[in-house]
């Protein structure tokens, strides 16, 4: 079957999609967007987290046909998505949350990073000043086997603090 | 495999009648796992995600008519007042990503004894609205679970909604697992106090082939509260009564040993959860002044 949906603001189409195929497979293998990672294929690890009509979901558990006509944001589009949302004119290649992950050393092997970035960005969008409990809850569906999560916590706190400071400057 | 994408509920029922082996697909948190792992190759997938009414709820009267595909995250955000037990259970489902997709209809369709919604539905009182082109029937949730991953649906039926009694008193939920997120219950327990009928209902999950009510325990506790005049006095439940309730709940279990826990552990843990959740629920019953007050307005202690 053919599926058509929007990914990172652009209309994408894929042909000869098998009916049982996941959104993740279509993104990675048919649309050339391998940023979302394929690991557990059962919704346990969060490495494939994308936004589907704004909601963070595991792309491995969405049937490709269910994405028909919907809006998907993947890690590849996170910087542009954040720019548009935050109204920042910056031309940087990275979303604030991506920069914070780099600055805090929250990336080791990097496999879990795309999913964590999408989940963390959505948290800060929804809760600009998250508590540690908020961060832990928002990232509870994303497994990292390298970092022990402390640097990831640091990164999310840093991203939130920076976006908060940005907001405060705008108010002034 | 064929991917059926009905645009309306009527179309979905017609498709299910025409293809009884079609597997309904909403959030995909169970079905897609089975497909990804090659455990299931249905001839047809019946995508219900475009059917608006399955994603909505109605709160008129004494029940909430919860659309089968309302995701857990929406239950937590929108229904914790009407359905506190189910909202608590919803919080323990998977992760944010899973709660954005998974639904009570999916829990019922899968009918896993470990489904998180079941103990809360059993405790609150609920009926499953099963619909086919032949008509609609209402199945009490107790009768809906017929075996491990088996339910009372006919092959042409789909779940339209679950009608859940609105809380008329405190409700609690507890679940045993190895961490707070992404856990399939080792066992789970839901309790609802129903002061309007002076009854207590208790639901047990993952400790028998099906989710079940602890009816003997419910009856014992109901009688003990009545005889002690506790509904009106709001006095503390005597420890011996709470202990007996816990033991009867343990006794209602018919668990197995598996990778998540042993039968003996499950039986014991259900008893512990029963005693604790009863304590929490009764404390909030007392605290909200639902017990009778003295003439001066002060609540009896």
Q: Are residues A132 and A146 in the same domain?
A: yes
Q: Give the tens place of pLDDT for each residue, A8-51.
A: 999 999 999 999 999 999 999 999 999 999 999 999 999 999 99
Q: Is residue B293 part of a domain?
A: no
Residue B288 pLDDT = 85
- Residues of A within 8 A of B36 (CB-CB) are 22, 41-42, 60
How large is the average pLDDT for residues B101-107?
Answer: 98
CB B162 within 8 A of CB B127: yes
pLDDT at A91: 59
Mean local confidence (pLDDT), A85-112: 90
Q: Is the pLDDT of residue B218 over 60?
A: yes
Q: How many CB pairs under 8 A join A and B?
A: 88
| pLDDT (mean) for B74-86 | 98
Over residues A105-127, the mean pLDDT reads 97
Single residue among B139, B165, B191 that ends a domain in this structure: B165
Tracing tokens 């075996």 back to the chain, one arrives at B147
- Please name which of A119, A150, A155 lies closest in space to residue A137, comparing C-alpha atoms: A119
Same-domain pairing of B141 and B216: no
Q: Are residues A97 and A161 in the same domain?
A: yes
Dihedral angle, C-alpha B259, A48, B76, B117, nearest 10 °: -30
> Residue B31's closest chain A neighbor by CA?
A61
* pLDDT of res. B295: 39
Is residue B255 scored above 80 in pLDDT? Answer: yes
Q: Is B35 part of a structural domain of the chain? A: yes
DSSP A26: I
Q: What is the pLDDT of residues B22-69, one digit of tens each?
A: 999 999 999 999 999 999 999 999 999 999 999 999 999 999 999 999
Q: Residue written as tokens 């390298």?
A: A146
pLDDT > 60? residue A169: no
Q: Does residue B301 belong to any structural domain of this protein? A: no
> How close B22 gets to chain A, by Cα (Å)?
13
The pLDDT assigned to B294 comes to: 42
A118 with A162, same domain: the answer is yes
Report the pLDDT value the prediction gives residue B291, as an integer from 0 to 100. 54
Residue from the list A22, A57, A140 with its beta carbon closest to the beta carbon of B100: A57
Which structural domain, as residue segments, surrounds residue B200? 171-287
Return mean pLDDT, chain B.
95
Q: Identify the pLDDT of residue A88.
A: 75
**B256 in any annotated domain:** yes
Report the residue count for chain B: 301
Q: Please report, rounded to a whole number, the percentage of residues in chain B having pLDDT higher than 70.
A: 96
Q: CB under 8 Å, gap of 24 or more: what pairs does B78-85 form? A: B81/B167, B82/B166, B82/B167, B83/B120, B83/B124, B83/B164, B83/B166, B83/B167, B83/B171, B84/B167, B84/B170, B84/B171, B85/B119, B85/B120, B85/B123, B85/B124, B85/B167, B85/B171, B85/B172, B85/B173, B85/B190, B85/B191, B85/B192
Residue A44's CATH number: 3.10.20.30
Domain count, chain A: 2
pLDDT given for residue A90 in this prediction: 59
Q: Which of B146, B165, B184 is the last residue of a domain?
A: B165
Question: Which burial class, exposed, middle or buried, applies to A156 when counting CB atoms under 10 A from its CB (0-12, 13-18, 19+)?
Answer: buried
Whether residues A68 and B5 touch (CB distance < 8 A) is answered with yes
**What would the pLDDT profile of B109-133 be if each residue is shown by its tens digit?**
999 999 999 999 999 999 999 999 9
pLDDT of residue A123: 98
Asked if residue B76 has pLDDT above 80, the reply is: yes
Do B102 and B233 fall within a single domain?
no
pLDDT tens-digit readout, B184-200 = 999 999 999 999 999 99
Mean pLDDT of chain A: 94
- Chain B hits for A55, Cβ within 8 Å: 73, 100-101
Looking at residue B55, what is its pLDDT? 98
Q: Tally Cβ neighbours within 10 Å of residue A11.
A: 8
Contact A98, A117 (CB under 8 A): yes
Q: How confident is the model at residue B297 (pLDDT cuts 50, 70, 90)?
A: very low
pLDDT at B228: 97
Report the pLDDT averaged over residues B257-265: 96
Strand B23-25 and strand B44-47: the pairing is parallel
Name the H helices within A66-131.
78-86, 96-104, 113-126
Give the pLDDT confidence score for residue A87 in this predicted structure.
85
Q: Structure tokens of B250?
A: 């343990």
Q: Give the C-alpha distances (Å, rounded to integers) separating B135 from B13, B22, B53, B161.
A: 10, 19, 17, 14
Contacts of A43 in chain B (CB under 8 A): 29, 32-33, 94-95, 97-98
Tell me the residue range of the domain where A153 lies. 79-171
The ipTM assigned to this model is 0.95
């Amino acid at each position: 079957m053919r599926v058509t949906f929007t990914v990172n603001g652009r209309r994408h189409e894929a042909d000869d999609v098998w009916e049982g195929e996941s959104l993740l497979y279509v993104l990675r293998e048919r649309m050339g967007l391998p940023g979302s990672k394929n690991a557990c294929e059962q919704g346990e690890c969060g490495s494939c987290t994308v936004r589907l009509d704004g909601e963070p979901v595991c792309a491995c558990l969405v049937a490709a046909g269910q994405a028909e006509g919907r809006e998907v944001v993947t890690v590849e589009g996170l910087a542009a998505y954040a720019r548009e949302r935050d109204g920042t004119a910056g031309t940087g290649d990275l979303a604030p949350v991506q920069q914070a992950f780099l600055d805090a050393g929250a990336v080791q092997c990097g496999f879990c990073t795309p999913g964590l970035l999408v989940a963390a960005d959505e948290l800060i969008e929804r809760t600009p000043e998250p508590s540690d409990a908020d961060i832990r809850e928002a990232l509870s569906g994303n497994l990292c086997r390298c970092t022990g999560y402390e640097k990831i916590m640091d990164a999310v706190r840093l991203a939130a603090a920076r976006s908060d400071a940005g907001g405060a400057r705008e108010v002034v | 495999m064929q991917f059926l994408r009905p645009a309306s509920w009527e179309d979905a029922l017609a498709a299910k009648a025409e293809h009884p082996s079609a597997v309904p697909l909403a959030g995909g948190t169970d079905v897609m796992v089975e497909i990804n792992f090659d455990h299931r190759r249905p001839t047809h997938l019946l995508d219900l995600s475009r059917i608006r009414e399955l994603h909505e709820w109605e709160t008129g009267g004494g029940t909430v008519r919860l659309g089968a595909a309302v995701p857990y995250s929406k239950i937590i955000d929108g229904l914790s007042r009407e359905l506190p037990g189910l909202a608590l259970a919803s919080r323990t489902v998977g992760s944010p990503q899973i709660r954005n997709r998974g639904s009570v209809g999916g829990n019922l369709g899968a009918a896993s004894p470990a489904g998180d919604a079941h103990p809360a539905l059993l405790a609150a009182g609920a009926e499953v609205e099963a619909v086919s082109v032949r008509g609609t029937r209402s199945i009490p949730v107790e009768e809906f679970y017929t075996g491990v991953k088996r339910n009372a649906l006919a092959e042409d039926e789909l779940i339209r909604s679950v009608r859940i009694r609105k809380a008329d008193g405190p409700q609690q939920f507890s679940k045993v697992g190895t961490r707070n997120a992404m856990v399939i219950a080792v066992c789970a327990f839901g309790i609802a106090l129903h002061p309007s009928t002076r009854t207590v209902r208790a639901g047990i999950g993952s400790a028998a082939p099906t989710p079940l009510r602890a009816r003997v325990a419910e009856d014992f506790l109901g009688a003990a509260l009545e005889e002690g005049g506790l509904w009106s006095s709001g006095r503390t439940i005597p420890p011996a009564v709470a202990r007996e309730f816990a033991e009867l709940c343990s006794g209602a279990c018919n668990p197995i040993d598996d990778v998540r826990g042993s039968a003996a552990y499950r039986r014991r843990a259900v008893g512990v959860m029963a005693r604790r959740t009863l304590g929490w629920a009764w404390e909030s019953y007392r605290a909200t002044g639902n017990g009778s007050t003295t003439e001066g307005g002060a609540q009896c202690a």
